[in-house]
Amino acid sequence: MSAVLAPTARLTEAKEPSALARRLSATAVSLDLFERLAAARAAIGGTLVFTTSFGLEDQAIGHAILSQRLDVELVTLDTGRLFPETHDVWAETERRYGRRIRAIVPDRRELETLIERQGSDGFRASVDARRACCHVRKVTPLNRALAGADAWITGLRADQSEHRADVAFASVDGARGLIKINPLFDWTRERAADFTREYGVPVNALHERGFLSIGCAPCTRAVAPGEPERAGRWWWESEGKTECGLHANPLHLAARAAHKAAQS
């Protein structure tokens, strides 16, 4: 392993979180996945949270965390609209590693209000309706999952879409006050698939059926060969958006949601 960074104080107390992120990013380039996660754990004090959707990339990261028994919280956002196959790989992963993965569910009152307002599948009516659903089922639960965290580990890859082209190993999420760690930032999908095969990691059965990026069942479809990876997410929207808001500025999203709520 290359040089491991010295442990820091909690990020909230660190004077130079952006310098720490730069140091981590520079160090990570030459490390394998196991080493990258171990280096992040060693360098960042406090709580590290890994949010998994049990997709290919997250399963690779989960294996590297769980097989090394790293002190990292594993969390999933149970939106209430996940595929049965996602629940299957969730259960299989818990059995394989003997570890419970914490589920964060939407706030009951917010969800009831959303369904009252837009109906069960009202997210198809407009981009704003879809964003409102993602906000209640995903963004607000994510904010709860990350409350008090010093770092957030995600499965983002730079080559997934143009929205993600600038993804680095480590960056500062100033709105949330934490360091974001993307250990697969420079990986391809094929490399993640090879990793899961090499280590016998459980994967979502939907991948074999053309589902590349897997989210909620009503908002995910299989993609044809040659289509962009995230073309199967919210494909009916004309704006070409393929993000749900989890990786956007949460303060901006909160302000937008409040604005829309005031208008409705």
For helices 250-263 and 127-134, the axis angle rounded to 10 degrees is: 120
* 54, 123, 195, 211: which one binds ligand SF4 (CB under 6 A): 123
Residue written as token pair 């993000």: 243
What does the alpha-carbon distance between residue 26 and residue 108 come to, in Å, rounded to a whole number? 43
- What are the residues whose beta carbons fall under 8 Å from the beta carbon of 258, sequence distance 6 or more? none
Longest dimension (CA), the chain: 55
Site membership for ligand SF4, residue 134 (CB under 6 A) = yes
Please answer whether residues 44 and 149 qualify as being in contact, where contact means their C-beta atoms are separated by less than 8 angstroms: no
Among 218, 227, 251, 258, binds ligand SF4 (CB under 6 A): 218
Beta strands (DSSP E) in 123-250 are 151-153, 170-173, 178-181
The verdict on whether 244 is a catalytic residue reads: yes
List the interface residues with ligand SF4, window 75-94 (CB under 6 A): 79, 81
Assigned token pair, 233: 């997410």
Residue from 36, 41, 63, 138 binding ligand SF4 (CB under 6 A): 138
Residue 231, interface with ligand SF4 (CB under 6 A)?
no
Among 137, 157, 164, 180, the residue binding ligand SF4 under the rule CB under 6 A is 137
- Provide the strand spans (E) within 46-124: 48-51, 73-77, 102-104
Q: Give me the least distance between CB of 155 and ligand SF4, in Å please.
A: 16
In the complex with ligand SF4, which residue's Cβ is closer, 88 or 110?
110
- Whose structure tokens read 């171990």? 38
Rounded least distance, CB 175 to ligand SF4, Å: 20
Question: Could you say whether residue 130 binds ligand SF4 (CB under 6 A)?
Answer: yes
78 versus 150: smaller Cβ distance to ligand SF4: 78
**Residues 142/163, Cβ–Cβ less than 8 Å:** no
Q: Per rule CB under 6 A, is residue 133 in the interface with ligand SF4? A: yes
Residues with active-site annotation = 244
Interface ranges with ligand SF4 (CB under 6 A): 79, 81, 123, 130, 133-134, 137-138, 215-216, 218-219, 244
